[in-house]
Each structure stands twice: as structure tokens, then as C-alpha cells.
């Protein structure tokens, strides 16, 4: 499939979805004399767009995020602390432990990243890819599936 982000044909990745529509704000009078009138926002969903994003692009998105940087930094710092506590062999021991930690990051992080963290960022990448086009069509509201669910809008799960 062709990746929406890098425009390359790739086999590994997932399909994500961005939802678009309009946000309409209306002034609403309250029943209580103590409360002032307030704006109530109505959401008018007009459609959604699905797109494929390859695993490589999603790794780049993850690694550039604060969560990705924090996880990798915590593992490296944890490995360095572990190496100084357990291995008293000095520099060579620290390098060996650091190598083991980096190997662990390389094996475990793809499983963790795919399963837990790509859904919302993947949807956000689809929104970024189509946002200007949607704005030209007059839409002013863009939601990922998590935001849509929070507003009571039924959405589907990503396909692999």
C-alpha cells in the first residue's frame, strides 16, 4: 500500500482515520438568574478519511514525540545505573550492559509501540495530511477516533 506520509509503497503499516466536520457555536440562555448565558458547541460530522501509514513513518513520529524520547532515555539511564550497580568491571562492563539494553529496546519497543501508541498519533497524521484540503472545503473541525468517541461519535478500530 502507498503511505500517506512518505508516499512510498510499503507492506508493513496500518490504516488510520481522520474525521472532519464543522463546529457550530450558539449562545444559550440558562434557567438560573445567577448563571450568565454561555456558548454551547454543536458538532456536525461530515465524513472521514482513511489512509495507510507505514511502520517506518510511525516509528519516526513516535521517536520524535515526548513519550518516545522519555521511554528510550529511561531505558538507557536505567541500563547505565544497572551497569554501575551490578557490574564492577568498569568501562567494558558498562558497554556490555548498554549493548544489552539497546538490544532490548530494539526487540521490545516495536511490539510496545505498535500495540499501544500508534492509534491516536496515526489518526493525527492522517488529519495533518488532509487538513488543508478539508479547510478549503469549508470544514473547521478535525478529530481523531479517540476525540470522536469522547464526543459520542461511533468509530471503527484501525485495520492491520
d(CA 87, CA 110): 28
Three-class SS of residue 14?
Answer: strand
CA atoms within 13 A on the CB side of 139: 20
Q: What is the pTM of this model?
A: 0.61
pLDDT value at residue 139: 93
Each of the 160 residues of the chain gets a pLDDT tens digit; together they read 999 989 999 988 889 999 999 887 666 666 665 666 666 677 888 889 999 999 888 888 877 766 667 777 777 777 777 666 665 556 666 677 777 777 766 666 655 555 555 678 889 999 999 999 999 999 999 998 888 888 777 665 444 4
Residue 108 and residue 88: Cα distance in Å, rounded?
27
CA nearest to 50, candidates 20, 83, 95, 9: 20
Nearest to 16 by CA among 143, 159, 129, 152: 159
Amino acid at each position: 500500500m502507498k503511505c500517506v506520509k512518505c508516499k512510498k509503497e510499503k507492506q508493513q503499516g496500518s490504516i488510520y482515520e481522520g474525521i472532519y466536520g464543522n463546529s457550530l457555536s450558539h449562545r444559550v440562555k440558562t434557567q438560573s438568574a445567577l448563571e450568565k448565558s454561555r456558548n454551547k458547541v454543536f458538532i456536525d460530522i461530515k465524513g472521514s478519511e482513511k489512509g495507510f501509514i507505514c511502520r517506518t513513518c510511525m516509528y519516526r513520529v513516535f521517536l520524535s514525540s515526548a513519550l518516545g524520547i522519555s521511554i528510550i532515555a529511561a531505558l538507557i539511564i536505567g541500563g547505565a545505573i544497572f551497569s554501575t550497580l551490578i557490574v564492577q568491571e568498569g568501562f567494558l562492563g558498562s558497554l556490555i550492559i548498554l549493548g544489552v539494553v539497546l538490544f532490548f529496546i530494539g526487540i521490545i519497543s516495536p511490539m510496545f509501540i505498535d500495540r499501544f501508541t500508534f492509534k491516536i498519533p496515526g489518526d493525527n497524521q492522517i488529519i495533518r495530511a488532509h487538513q488543508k484540503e478539508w479547510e478549503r472545503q469549508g470544514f473547521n473541525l478535525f478529530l481523531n477516533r479517540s476525540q470522536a468517541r469522547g464526543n459520542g461519535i461511533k468509530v471503527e478500530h484501525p485495520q492491520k
